[in-house]
């Protein structure tokens, strides 16, 4: 892939040189299970550089505690409370600078077991039943997961509803070693971080592409082959507006997401400049730009690509805002061939509106990839962890298919590969080390957004990764 490198000049003040005398801080202590504040918890703050105690305080009303420090330093906050497990968090100087005077909430688990009486079985629609069963084995409810469940349980096809406690055959999920969990946790924390240098590079790459897209292409006397000048101008304008809108969110962009956006914006800029230099734009060039923008719009949490596609297909003069409103009203289910359906959420709104997703939420997750086909398993042995260490899995933005330098190799034993993915659409490449050849998945692309938008999977970002969410990839 052609790339454009930009020098980044950034002046920053060294945190170690910042003198803060008697700085005051506050934080909160909550119970993890109930999300309620804990009053009377004992909090010990320790200077981790000198291993000396800074303060010992208690949480008051609403679980709030306060303390002061004479020296700006790295600290450790330990919280104890009768009936709860001890909680602990460390904060570097960078953390303290980022959080300001208010530290993040520390959640305590109960030290005793709480037994819940299981609910009585209830009748469920086939859709709810299947989604709940997939959740029980941490499979994301993507088309391949439905295919597998119906393959293992052909009797489901003819049923409209089932009892919640009905037994079906479920695939056996492979176990992840503790060492691998730790490695992926470190990678997750690194990718989730907000790196200022990367954010500056992102700002530069977006500014450059906005400049390229703002150029009046009519002066170049371009020859159009299979594409209209109006369609290209509209595409460029929508893309420029997308990037302009996103600029205000750069400071909230995780390191991994910033790197993904930089890669796509640089590729788009190079493609645009090449077209203008050749004074010729063909239908393949136009489709390449559309594909790159489609991938980019997923990362920008934008609806504009969808709006542009509707305008292009319908040839309608309907406004973008009108299309968004109609989309919101018709957010019905998308039917899969097995009769299962679930709603497709609208993740953003029209240009210029501030409503939409929370950009402060984490946009990085740990996912496992499971490879399967009918020849690998039977209804008597639905074990996806066998054979071990057979497949190598790489993922990439679909528009960059063929540019292997952009592919990211997943890690993991057996046919599980752990990847730290942003909310986006990805292509996948699978190499069979037994047969020494590449194998084709049934679906060319997959989306990770289901893990972010489906409430049943909202806990996938747990800190210790006890549960890995699996994306099932079916082979042809």
Confidence (pLDDT) at 27: 93
pLDDT in tens, 60-110: 988 999 999 888 899 999 999 988 889 999 999 888 888 888 899 999 988
Q: Which of 41-50, 165-174, 316-325, 382-391 has the lowest mean pLDDT?
A: 316-325
pLDDT for residue 112: 64
Kindly state the average pLDDT of the residues 233-258: 90
Highest mean pLDDT among 45-54, 217-226, 419-428: 45-54
Q: Where in the chain is the domain with CATH 2.60.40.10?
A: 19-108
Rounded distance, CA 90 to CA 104, Å?
Answer: 11
Higher pLDDT among residues 185 and 371, named by residue: 371
19-108 CATH: 2.60.40.10
**Predicted model pTM:** 0.63
Residue 129's pLDDT is what?
A: 92
The pLDDT > 90 percentage for the chain reads 24
3-class SS of residue 199? helix
Lowest pLDDT segment from 46-60, 85-99, 110-124, 167-181: 110-124
- Long-range Cβ contact pairs of 392-395 (< 8 A, separation 24 or more): 392/417, 392/430, 392/431, 392/433, 393/369, 393/417, 393/419, 393/428, 393/429, 393/430, 393/431, 393/473, 394/428, 394/429, 394/430, 394/431, 395/369, 395/419, 395/421, 395/426, 395/427, 395/428, 395/429
131 versus 376: the higher-pLDDT residue is 131
Percent of the chain having pLDDT more than 70?
77
In CATH, the number for domain 178-184+361-474 is 2.60.40
420-440 pLDDT, tens digit per residue, is 788 788 899 999 888 899 999
Between CA 205 and CA 218 the distance in angstroms is 24
pLDDT digits 0-9 by tens, 327-351: 333 333 333 333 333 333 333 333 3
- The answer, yes or no, to whether residue 355 has pLDDT greater than 60, is no
Kindly report each contact of residues 135-138 with a partner whose C-beta sits within 8 Å and lies 24 or more positions away, as own/partner: 135/456, 135/457, 136/170, 137/170, 137/171, 137/173, 137/470, 138/173, 138/467, 138/468, 138/469, 138/470
How much is the mean pLDDT over the chain?
Answer: 77
């Amino acid at each position: 892939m052609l790339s454009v490198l930009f020098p980044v000049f950034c002046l920053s003040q060294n945190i170690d040189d910042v003198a803060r005398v008697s700085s005051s801080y506050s934080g909160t202590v909550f119970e993890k299970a109930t999300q309620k504040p804990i009053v009377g918890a004992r909090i010990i703050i320790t200077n981790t550089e000198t291993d000396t105690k800074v303060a010992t305080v208690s949480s008051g009303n609403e679980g709030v505690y306060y303390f002061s420090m004479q020296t700006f330093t790295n600290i450790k906050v330990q919280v104890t409370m009768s009936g709860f497990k001890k909680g602990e968090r460390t904060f570097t100087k960078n953390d303290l600078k980022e959080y300001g005077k208010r530290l993040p909430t520390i959640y305590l688990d109960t030290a005793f077991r709480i037994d819940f009486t299981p609910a009585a079985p209830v009748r469920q629609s086939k859709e709810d039943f299947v989604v709940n069963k997939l959740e029980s084995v941490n499979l994301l409810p993507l088309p391949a997961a439905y295919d597998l469940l119906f393959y293992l349980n052909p009797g489901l096809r003819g049923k409209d509803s089932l009892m919640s406690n009905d037994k079906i055959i479920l695939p056996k999920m492979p176990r992840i070693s503790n060492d691998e969990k730790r490695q992926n946790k470190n990678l997750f924390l690194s990718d989730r971080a907000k790196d200022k240098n990367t954010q500056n590079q992102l700002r530069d790459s977006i500014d450059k592409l906005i400049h390229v897209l703002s150029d009046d292409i009519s002066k170049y006397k371009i020859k159009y082959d299979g594409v209209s000048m109006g369609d290209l101008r509209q595409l460029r304008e929508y893309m420029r507006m997308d990037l302009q809108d996103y600029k205000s969110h750069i400071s909230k962009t995780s390191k991994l997401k910033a790197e993904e956006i930089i890669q796509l914006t640089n590729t788009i800029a190079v493609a645009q400049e090449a077209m203008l230099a050749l004074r010729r734009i063909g239908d393949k060039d136009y489709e390449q730009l559309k594909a790159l923008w489609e991938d980019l719009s997923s990362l920008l949490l934008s609806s504009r690509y969808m709006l542009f596609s509707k305008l292009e297909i319908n040839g309608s003069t309907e406004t973008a805002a009108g299309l968004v409103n109609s989309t919101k009203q018709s957010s019905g289910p998308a039917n899969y061939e097995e009769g299962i359906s679930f709603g497709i959420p609208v993740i953003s709104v029209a240009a210029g509106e501030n409503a939409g997703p929370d950009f402060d939420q984490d946009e990085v997750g740990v996912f496992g990839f499971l490879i399967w086909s009918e020849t690998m398993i039977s209804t008597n042995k639905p074990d996806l962890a066998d054979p071990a260490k057979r497949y190598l899995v790489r993922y990439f933005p679909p528009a960059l298919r063929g540019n292997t330098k952009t592919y990211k190799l997943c890690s993991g034993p057996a046919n599980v590969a752990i990847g730290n993915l942003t909310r986006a659409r990805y292509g996948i490449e699978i190499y069979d080390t037994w047969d020494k050849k590449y194998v084709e998945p049934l679906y060319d692309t997959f989306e990770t957004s289901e893990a972010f938008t489906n409430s049943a999977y909202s806990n996938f970002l747990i800190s210790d990764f006890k549960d890995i969410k699996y994306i099932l990839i079916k082979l042809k």
